Chains A and B, each alone.
Chain A
C-alpha cells in the first residue's frame, strides 16, 4: 500500500506538477477506450524523461507497487486500465520527435508522440509512417508499440512491429536496456519483436526507432457494391488469387453502411456488401491492376463500381469507413465493438453463423472488416434499458470470438487482449503455450509489477465481462476516428 512518503518521493522525481493524486482528477485516468472497466489508481505520474521513468520504477520496484503505462488512452481492450493501489505512468509529456533521418528512413521518437505527427514531420520529403490505426490522430506511438497496432493498410505495409527497429526500455526494476537499433539484425535475441505487442507487461518504452516509408507514386481507391458480403468476399478471393497485394481491402455490411451514411454521408451505395479496394504503387502498374479489380468485382456481381476521382472523394470514402464504429451510435443506443480474426476463406461460413446467432438472440450485428486479412470488427447492437439485453450482447460478442477460434483464427487482430479478453486466451492457447509466455514475462518482470493483471487469464477474473463501446470524446467531437 502506498503511503504519503512514497508519494512525496514520486513528487521529488517528477515535481508537483507531475503527480496527480486527488480522486477527482484521477477519474480522468480510470479507464481507456474500453470504458466499462474502471479502476482508480493511487496516483498518476507524468514523467518527462527516461531518467524520471527509471527513478519512478526503482521506487515502485522497491515498494512492490504495480504500475500501468499509458499513452493517449485510446486502447479498446482495457490495456491501460489502472491497477488498484497501483500507479499510472502517463507518457504524454514525453512527446518529442528526437531525430528524423531521411537518408536512412528512420525516425526516433519518445513514446508520447502522436502517430500521425510522425507522418506530419516527414510529409515534406514524401515519406509516411505506415501503421495507421483509425485513432492515429490521437493515439501515441508508445501505445501502438504496446498493442502492436494495425490499421487498414497493414495488409500491404505490415503492423507496428514491422516498423519498429529499436527500443529504449525501462525494465520493471528501473534498469535501462536498448533493444534492436537503427541498423538491422543487431546481435542477440530479437527482444524488440517480443516487446512490441506485449501490452505493457514487460516494461516501459521510452524511445522508439521507427522505419518510415516513401509515399507511392499513385493511390487509387475503388468502391464496389455487391448484393451481399458473400459476393464481396468472393471478389476478395478473386483479387488474391490473381496475385495482387492491394494496400487495403475493406468490407462493410448493410447495417454498417447505413450507420456510416447516417453519420458522415459518405455517399455509399445502399447495398448488402460494400468493398473498398485501394491499390498503390507506380502509376502504370496500378492502372493495369485496377482494370483487373474492376473486372473481378463485376464478374462477382458488383452492380455499382466507383473509383474515387479526386483526393477529396478518396478522403470521403475513407471517412465513412473509419467513422463506422462511432457511427453505429446513430442506429443503436448501445453497442459492443469486437475484434476477431479468421482465415479469410472462412468468411461466408462465419458470417452466416453470426447472422444465425444474431437472429436467435434478437440482436442486430453490424459488420466491418479488414477483408484482406480476415480481421472482423462485428458491432453488437443493444439497448441497455431492456433488461437482460446487455448480458445477451456480451454473450453474443464472446460467442463470435469462439467462432473465430473454431475457424482457426484469433481473438484479436489489433486491439489487444488487455483486460477484456484475457479469459479468452485459454480458449485460444493451451496451458503449455501460456506457461511459456509467462516464462518470458518473468525474465523481464520477475515481480510481475508491469501491468500485472492484463493479457493472461487469472481464474478469479474470468467471470468478468467485456465492455460496451463508448466513443472517445475526441471521436464524438469529430476530431478523431477509429476502427
Chain B
C-alpha cells in the first residue's frame, strides 16, 4: 500500500471496519484508471458517510455494483475510491399482494427475480448479465432489453429510490406505491445518470406477474425494407405481443422474432393472426433462446464481454488480424426509420471495411456490433452518430475496444446541456462521482 492510500484508509476507518476497506488492485481498474482503495459499506448510512468523507477530501469516487458495465461511458478523469454496493444486497420487501418490491442496490437481478418468482412475479425487464448485474448498475446505465416494448423501461418500473449524495445526504423520493405524484420524480433522474448525481442505495419497483405461457416465433424476410414493413404492420395490428426484434447483419437475410405471453387459448388465437399478417414470409415457432441475442453480441469480444460474427476472409486481406477490434454501440432511431438506419449502418461499415451485426427492437432502440481496425471503427462510429442525429436519433458507445482513438461515448444532449450541468453541480458540485464519465464531462 502506498503512503497515500494508507492515509486514505485511516480516514475511512472513521465510518468503516477494517474488513470493509482494501487497497485497490488491477482488477479494480476502470477504463485503464486504477483507484487506490475499494470500500464495501454494509449499510446505506455507512455508504453515505463514506461518500461524504471522500467528497470532503476531494477524492473521486467510482460507484460499483456487479462490475459488468464498468466500461460503459467515458474513462474517468480521476479515480481514487471504488464504492462497492456488494454488501447492500438484500431484497428488503416483496409486497407481492401489492405488486411492489423494495431492494438494495447491490442485489443482483437474478437474486431479485428468484425471490419474486416465489410468488409468480417479476421485474418485467431483461437486462444484460442478470447473474452479476445489480439493481444499482442497471438503473445507472438504464439497461433494458426486448421486453421494454410492452413493459416500458426502468423509468416506468421504478417507483421509489434512495440515493446518497456526495455531501453525505441520504435522500428518498417517490415511494412504495405505484401511483404517487408527491414531489419530484427523482427515481427518473438517477435512472441512466451513470451514478453522477448520487449513489443509488435502494430502489422500489412495480412488478408484473410472470406469464402463464409464452410463445416465440421467428419470421424470415428478404430485406431490411421488408423487415420494416412487417414490423410496422405488426405494431399497427391488434396483436398483443410483448417483444419484437429484428436481426440484421452483413451475411444473412434479416429475421424477426416476436414474443407473446398469455393463456393457451389466447396464444393460439394470436399465432393464427400473426400467420395471416405474415402472408408469404417464412414463419416458425422458435426457442425462447432467441431472446438472448442481445447478450450474445458481446459473447465473442476482446474483453470480459463482447461480439460478433466471424471476420470474413476478404477484409482480412487488408489488415492484420491483430489490428482487429470490436465495438458495440446502442443506437436509437425512430421505429419507422429501421430500413434507413440499416442502410446507414451498411453504407458506413462497407466504406470503412468493417463487419457488422445488429439487433433492432420495435421501439427504435438497437444494438450494433462493429468489427475491424480501430481507426476505421472511430471513423464509422462518428459518421453513424452524425447520420442518426440528423434524424433525431443517437448513438452511445458501450463497448470500447482497446486502441480506439478518443471517442466520446455519448453524443450530444443538444440545448439542454447547460441545464444538465446545473443539475449536476447542485447535487455533485465537486464532480466527486464518476468524474468526466458522463456526457460532455458531466
Contacts and interface: CB of A to CB of B under 8 A. Distances in A.
A386 interface: no
A443 B423 contact: yes
Interface string A255-289: 00000000000000000000000000111110111
Contacts of B171: 432-433, 435-436
A294 interface: no
Interface in A167-225: 171, 175-179, 181-191, 193-194, 196-198, 214-217
A344 interface: yes
Interface in B237-270: 237-240, 262-263, 265-266, 268-270
Contacts of B237: 214
Contacts of A159: 179, 181
B240 A285 contact: yes
A321 to B, nearest CB: 17
A444 interface: yes
A202 to B, nearest CB: 8
Contact of B419 (A171, A190, A370, A414): A171
Contact of A198 (B184, B393, B438): B184
A370 B178 CA distance: 12
B410 A188 contact: yes
A158 B439 contact: no
> Which 6 pairs across A and B sit closest by C-beta, in order of nearness?
A193-B188, A285-B266, A243-B209, A188-B413, A284-B269, A103-B336
A287 B156 CA distance: 28
B345 to A, nearest CB: 16
Interface in A2-41: none
A162 B156 contact: yes
Contact of A374 (B98, B169, B184): B98
A210 to B, nearest CB: 14
Interface size class of B (residues with CB under 8 A): 35 or more
**A190, A373, A417: most-surrounded residue (chain B CB, <10 A):** A190
B360 interface: no
B97 A409 contact: no
Given A244-B209, A282-B240, A341 B177 contact: yes
Nearest to A209: B392
Nearest to B148: A184
B132 interface: no
Contacts of A375: 179
A303 to B, nearest CB: 25
Contact of A243 (B181, B186, B212): B212
A127 to B, nearest CB: 9
Contacts of A193: 155, 185, 188-189, 191
A439 B185 contact: no
A220 to B, nearest CB: 13
Contacts of A181: 392
B184 A197 contact: yes
Contacts of B169: 432, 435-436
A216 B238 contact: yes
Contacts of B381: none
A326 interface: no
Interface stretch (A57-65, A134-142, A312-320, A422-430): A422-430
Interface in A435-480: 435-437, 439-444, 455
A180 to B, nearest CB: 9
Contact of A161 (B142, B185, B208, B273): B185
B392 A433 contact: no
Contacts of A289: 263
Interface residues of A, number: 92
Contacts of B365: 184-185
Given A184-B153, A216-B238, 20 more contacts: A148-B181, A183-B333, A186-B413, A190-B193, A191-B419, A214-B235, A285-B265, A341-B175, A341-B177, A343-B95, A343-B98, A343-B176, A345-B95, A410-B180, A412-B181, A413-B180, A413-B181, A421-B182, A429-B172, A436-B163
A187 B183 contact: no
Interface string B260-294: 00110110111001000000000000000000000
Interface of A: 101-105, 125, 147-148, 150, 154, 158-159, 161-162, 171, 175-179, 181-191, 193-194, 196-198, 214-217, 237, 240-245, 281-285, 287-289, 341-345, 370, 373-375, 408-417, 421, 425, 428-430, 432-437, 439-444, 455
Contacts of B99: 240
A185 B423 contact: no
A282 B189 contact: no
A103 B364 CA distance: 12
A443 B419 contact: yes
Contacts of A284: 263, 265-266, 268-270
B100 interface: yes
A193 B266 CA distance: 35
B192 interface: yes
Given A285-B269, A439-B426, A444 B183 contact: no
B6 to A, nearest CB: 33
Contact of A425 (B178, B183, B240, B262): B183
Contact of A240 (B97, B153, B263, B413): B97
B181 A414 contact: yes
B336 A104 contact: yes
Contact of B97 (A237, A342, A441): A237
B105 interface: no
Most chain-A CB neighbours within 10 Å: which of B188, B236, B411, B438? B188
Contacts of B268: 284
Contacts of A345: 95, 97-98
A147 B416 contact: no
Nearest to A421: B182
Contacts of B163: 436
B422 interface: yes
B415 A343 contact: no
Given A158-B152, A186-B394, A187-B413, A197 B181 contact: yes
A375 B189 CA distance: 24
A185 B394 contact: yes
B22 interface: no
A101 B336 CA distance: 10
A443 B184 CA distance: 13
Contacts of A415: 181
B430 to A, nearest CB: 14
Contacts of A214: 235-238
Contact of B173 (A105, A287, A370, A436): A436
B416 A185 contact: no
B309 interface: no
Interface in B145-169: 152-153, 155-156, 163, 165, 169
A287 B268 CA distance: 14
Nearest to A190: B188
Nearest to B232: A103
Given A409-B176, A433-B171, A105 B235 contact: yes
B265 to A, nearest CB: 5
B427 interface: yes
A411 B179 contact: no
A282 B223 CA distance: 30
A417 B209 contact: no
Contact of B183 (A101, A161, A433): A433
17 contacts: A105-B235, A184-B365, A187-B396, A190-B188, A193-B191, A284-B265, A284-B270, A285-B269, A341-B177, A413-B179, A417-B183, A433-B173, A436-B165, A436-B171, A436-B186, A440-B426, A440-B427
